[in-house]
Amino acid sequence: MNKKTLKYLEISGAAVTFLIWFILHHFNSLESDHLLNLFFGSANNSVWESIKLYLLAFLGWSVIELCVIIPKFKTFVVIKTFLVYSMGALYCIAATLLQLLGVEVKGIIETIFIMLLSAVIYSLSYQLLLKELNVSYLFVPSLFMLLLFSVSYICFTPYPLKIPIFFDFQNNLYGIIPPNFDKGAIFLDSLYGN
């Protein structure tokens, strides 16, 4: 594996992933009439809605890395899956604790927080991929965990669990903000209605 190419990809990944997160995070306010914004935008201002977008961008960039550096496939999948869950858990724990303490994680604080975590995750990714660890025996559990993330990504937007990471402290609700939910229903009705 070429160290220089990997380093370039990881640095670029941190920047591109952050940029994609920033655009997707604000997609809801830019294109509020489309149903797709519920899957590729923030349905509310909860911790989950913010981090799910970053993790989606991270996985997308990981596919690009896979095609460019052509590493050991199973090891690569295991490392990237570990990083998805590490980033998600770290962000969710820290942001939820801050919100429970009364500190709103939004705006510039949220942006800086994601930027720092992005730098940490991509530097950790670089170190782990360079070591060429023999963790291919974790490939099947990693695939299961990626499937679990995919199902969570789709299901927890309309049907969130009643726990703090899914609670929108700004709008004081769980799940989709009612006006957006109504717009989505109208959109679906226009597509499939009589």
Question: Domain segments of the chain: what residues?
Answer: 3-188
- Mean pLDDT, the chain, rounded, equals 78
Region 94-113: mean pLDDT is 78
- C-alpha gyration radius of the chain: 18
Q: Output the pLDDT for position 22.
A: 84
Q: Output the pLDDT for position 36.
A: 58
pLDDT in tens, 129-165: 888 788 888 889 999 998 888 888 777 777 777 877 7
Other Cβ atoms closer than 10 A to 193: 7
Q: Output the pLDDT for position 177.
A: 57
* Separation between Cα atoms, residue 57 and residue 122, nearest integer Å: 13
pTM over 0.85: no
Q: Output the pLDDT for position 82.
A: 92
